[in-house]
A = this chain, B = another copy of it.
Amino acid sequence: MTEIYRVSSPSNIAFLKYWGKKDPLLQWPASDSLSMSLNTLATKTTAYIHDAADHLFQFQGESLTRDHKSFHKVFKHLDYLSQTHGFTEKLAFSSSNSFPTGAGVASSASGLSALTLSAIACWTHSASFDELEKNGFSREHIAHLSRIGSGSAGRSLFGGYVHWQAGTHADKQKIIPLYSASHWNLHDTVALFSHDEKSKSSTAAHSDAWSSPLFSPRIAGAPERLQAMLKALYHRDMASLGPLLETEALDMHAVMMTTRPPQHYLTTESTEFLAAFRRARQDGVFEAYFTIDAGPNIHIIHEASQTPALHNWLKEFYPNLSLLSDKVGEGPSLERGMI
């Protein structure tokens, strides 16, 4: 019998975006970010101790090796965790996403947080967050370890609404849960757009951010945008939060589009969608607002009451558009079983 650690860790959608780093080696972001952890868009990862020369990582049934172009960061992150904590045992992982692969849903937040959580749980034989804490790994500690693997993964360790604070030094960063999911039941309807161009890895794109003339004013304005969003979130004030979401997303994409080289995640198809969406909202069809991460998909944030009107509009005018429907979630889960 072998202990197996089963983790599910959510994707998250950033309200205030993480884009650009003060220090890439330290994973020190240029500004604070704020996100909503999702519910069903998640990565499920199991881990058990594996008596072999190297870790084994299976993704959706396929065994992936150290030199895989997308998954090499999994091994790199496991090496980092091993080396910094003295964990010597090799692990076997099996991982899958709840969302369709290739749909452009960013999987690094859910994937790297699930990896980190399952690995630490397995190495420390912790069957719950309480046990992890007793073994020296608070949830925030695991969040910080996760963000080393992929910045936004740090925010996925908590449910609800999460604030990643850049702090005054790289080692003063904080990742704190602001409100649980029950504070405000916001929904995220994801409209899946394809992305023709091969996009740059986000790691490289992050470091290009400083080449945009719009980047330093953006970073300088982040604290004010944060305060405005925190206030809207506190009051559950959609009419205030919504325009902030859209401004923030377009501001980040304007930075991306004006870096050298420019980085285009939005296509004519998706920006025409944004325009039509705004016109429909102004016509009173629904109350919903978009945000867009570093990818082609458009996340439509709305209260539950707006789902029918929004989805009817989407079906009527964009019948061929694929949608994913999710909402704010409770954060990752961890359990131990035996195989």
* A160 CB to nearest B CB, Å: 26
Give Cα distance in the complex from A221 to B254, angstroms.
16
Chain B hits for A63, CB < 8 A: none
Tell me, in angstroms, the Cα distance from A68 to B172 when the chains sit together: 61
**What is the minimal beta-carbon distance from A310 to any residue of chain B, in angstroms?**
16
Q: Are A282 and B243 in contact (CB under 8 A)?
A: no
Which residues does chain B contribute within 8 Å of A262, judged by CB atoms? Answer: 258
Contact with B along A256-276 (1 / 0, CB 8 A): 011000101011100110111
A interface SS class? helix
Q: Which residue on B lies nearest to A228, using beta carbons? A: B243
A79 at the interface (CB under 8 A from B): no
The docked-state distance in angstroms from the alpha carbon of A116 to that of B276 is 38
Please name all residues of chain B whose beta carbon is closer than 8 Å to the beta carbon of A251 when the two chains form the complex.
Answer: 247, 250, 254
Partner of A257, one of B221, B224, B243, B254: B254
A287 to chain B, nearest CB (A): 12
Query: CB within 8 Å of B: which residues of A?
Result: 213-214, 216-217, 219-221, 223-224, 228, 243, 246-247, 250-251, 253-254, 257-258, 262, 264, 266-268, 271-272, 274-279, 281-282
